[in-house]
Amino acid sequence: MSHFENPKSCMKEDGLHLGPASTISRNSEQGLLGDLEDLVEALRIVLDNVYSGIIVVDKDSKILYMNRFYSDLLKTDREEALGKHIKEFFPESRLPGILRSGEMELGQRCSLRAGIALLVNRIPIKRQGETIGVILQTIFKDYTEISELMARLNMLEKEVKYYKRGLDSMLSATFTLGDIVGSNRKILEARSVAEKYARTDAAVLITGATGTGKELFAHAVHTSSQRKKGPFVCVNCAAIPKELLESELFGYETGAFTGARQKGKPGKIELAHKGTLFLDEIGDLPMSAQSKILRVLETRKIEKLGGVRTQDVNFRLVAATNRDLRAMIGRNEFREDLYYRLNTMTIEVPSLAERADDIPALVDHFLRIAGRPAVKISEAAMDAILNYSWPGNVRELKNAIDRAMSLAEGNSIEIDHLPYEIRDYHNKCRRGRGTSVKPLAEELACHEKELITETLRLTRGNMVRAAKLLGISRSTLYEKCKAHGF
């Protein structure tokens, strides 16, 4: 029985070690060389059929075996190669050095001839601590193969990182309490309340007119809470069609409805597990979805559309609205039990008109985040900005500054760079201040705009309630708002 038929060998960190064979004596005439030749002969069939170049040399660096792969690569007759020194084929071969050191080399580049390089392993063969030969093995036929493979792997890695960043950005909050700009008493109170609520895990309701920064506060509550390392999932209830809202919130199983994805889809609530679910414009949530949200808050379980089992969820709910939920309860448009579940902790975000003294700081902030801190606001432009009523609140101010920056040719924003409605309002007020008597129509128009702005602020943008308070029809109110530019 040959040594290969009764193996006593193993691979260690420093090479291939041959154990003592029962039928081969170390003191036999063949000696160590005979042992190695027996091993090579036994492995010949296997080695000739692998997609890898194999060369075995003895302790004198002479070739004992070359498989078919390597002979084709070297374009030589492997029988003629037997007994020749390895340097006849590889002039700069490192195998003699491996024989002396007895240490293997893995994944090393080896030049074959002009234009061709290999990636090889050099593995010493040892018997009882003595190196009796070396195996030279190619990993890739041509070094360009691994270069191309690494290039493809790098590209795939970049793609994975790109999509991961996109997913992380979709499921993460980007603002903190430090991003809430202003020193007005009301905004400082709102920020202080948000900081205190963030320490708890109860539901939070954020109220305020459109454009005041309710979503900014929602982000800040999450990033200041114990759940800040978890996902932050934002759902705009007003932007999703009502017939799709429940599937977006709760997800669905395979085949739940026509057009459903084959593998189903996780819902926003499921994605918010161990994080925060932010329901923006919760006043637009249908009654059927409201009852399901309430049940989830009570049981902490969800059931996907088309599903037959429940799933545990752990999330914190933060909701925001610019509507009067109490009035909606009276019209049977919002569930009273859900309202009181949300109304435990409320943050009221003031309108920009209530914190007009923060306008200069906000303008500087918008210039800084746009990368234009050197841009200055002229005195006339700042006067127009400060005197404007800002029905669109902070969002309208930001849009106005962004527009002005795009129109300004230098580092100065002039009044002509501001939107028309701001310039028009400023001109009317300036003409009024310049004369003791001004046309009645202008006076009425100026006061009418101020009255409508204040009424919309009080009703938090509710056009129906504002029209009732003003004693005009809703269509008339819409016409007047359009005429005044908001």
Please indicate, yes or no, if residue 292 is contained in any of the structural domains: yes
Burial 285-304 (b: 16+ CB within 10 A, else e): beeebbebbbebeeeeebbb
Q: Which two tokens stand for residue 436?
A: 């003791």
Do 361 and 321 fall into the same domain?
no
> Which run of H or E residues covers position 18?
strand 15-18
What is the reported pLDDT for 143?
47
SS3 169: helix
Give the C-alpha separation, 239 to 382, whole Å: 35
Q: Which residue has the higher pLDDT, 85 or 70?
A: 85
Do 335 and 415 fall into the same domain?
no
Please indicate, yes or no, if residue 169 is contained in any of the structural domains: no
Tell me the mean pLDDT in the region 151-160: 69
> Which run of H or E residues covers position 56?
strand 54-58
Tell me the mean pLDDT in the region 4-23: 52
Please indicate, yes or no, if residue 99 is contained in any of the structural domains: yes
Do 198 and 244 fall into the same domain?
yes
Please check the confidence at residue 358 and state whether its pLDDT lies above 90.
yes
Please indicate, yes or no, if residue 54 is contained in any of the structural domains: yes
Please indicate, yes or no, if residue 134 is contained in any of the structural domains: yes
- Structural domain ending residue among the three candidates 348, 377, 394: 348
From residue 120, how far is each of 16, 19, 65 by CA, in Å? 16, 26, 16
158 contacts: CB under 8 Å, gap ≥ 6 = none
Do 210 and 336 fall into the same domain?
yes
Domain that holds residue 310: 177-348
Q: What is the pLDDT of residues 375-432, one digit of tens each?
A: 899 998 998 999 888 988 999 999 999 999 988 888 899 988 998 888 888 777 766 5
Q: State the helix-helix crossing angle for 379-387 and 359-369, rounded to 10 degrees.
A: 120
Do 107 and 236 fall into the same domain?
no
Give the C-alpha separation, 234 to 242, whole Å: 17
Do 390 and 475 fall into the same domain?
yes
Do 312 and 387 fall into the same domain?
no
Pure H helices in 275-335: 287-299, 325-330
Q: What is the pLDDT of residues 290-334, one digit of tens each?
A: 999 999 999 999 988 877 788 999 999 999 999 999 999 999 999
- Structural domain ending residue among the three candidates 301, 328, 348: 348
Do 236 and 306 fall into the same domain?
yes
Do 17 and 134 fall into the same domain?
yes
Please indicate, yes or no, if residue 166 is contained in any of the structural domains: no
What is the reported pLDDT for 318?
96
Do 265 and 129 fall into the same domain?
no
Structural domain count, the chain: 3
Please indicate, yes or no, if residue 155 is contained in any of the structural domains: no
Please indicate, yes or no, if residue 154 is contained in any of the structural domains: no
Which domain CATH number covers 306? 3.40.50.300
Do 336 and 372 fall into the same domain?
no
Maximum distance among all Cα pairs of the chain, rounded to whole angstroms: 129
- Structural domain ending residue among the three candidates 326, 348, 370: 348
Do 361 and 326 fall into the same domain?
no
Which domain CATH number covers 465? 1.10.8.60
The mean-pLDDT minimum among 4-18, 48-62, 214-228 falls in: 4-18
Give the C-alpha separation, 95 to 208, whole Å: 78
What is the reported pLDDT for 367?
92
